[in-house]
Amino acid sequence: MSFQAYLDAVEDKTGLTPRQLVDLAAERGYGPGTKAGEILAWLADDYGLGRGHGMAVVHVITKGPTIGTKHVGTAGTHRDESDTLWLDGKATKPS
């Protein structure tokens, strides 16, 4: 599953775009420097997210939307189209 697919699944599970979750996290004081466990506990308690999906959200909260290029443009199951994740929801994703 690609990194972007994890974020898209989070949107399906929570009804919130990744950007909305980042904004909610900021309201709680979560951002760069926040421990993953604290964010994971919030996501599990409030949204029922498990560790895998939660860690995708932790990444964008603490590190922003840029990811490593290891799987960008590859043919594997973990491939992503870009090194920048789309946070504004599946319905607004450019084609």
pLDDT in tens, 26-76: 999 999 999 999 999 999 999 999 999 999 999 999 999 999 888 788 887
Q: What residues are paired with 36 via a beta bridge? A: none
Q: What is the pTM of this model?
A: 0.91
CA 12 to chain centre: 12
Give pLDDT, residue 69: 83
Give pLDDT, residue 78: 82
2: left (phi over 0), alpha (psi -120 to 50) or beta: beta
Whether residue 82 is contained in a domain is answered as: no
Residue bearing the bigger pLDDT, 74 or 11: 11
Contact 40, 55 (CB under 8 A): yes
Mapping DSSP to helix (H, G, I), strand (E, B) and coil, where does residue 93 land?
Answer: coil
Whether residue 87 is contained in a domain is answered as: no
Whether residue 94 is contained in a domain is answered as: no
Reply yes or no on whether the pLDDT at 79 is more than 80: yes
Whether residue 63 is contained in a domain is answered as: yes
**Highest mean pLDDT pick, 21-25, 70-74, 81-85:** 21-25
The total number of structural domains that make up the chain: 1
Boundaries of domain holding 22: 3-75
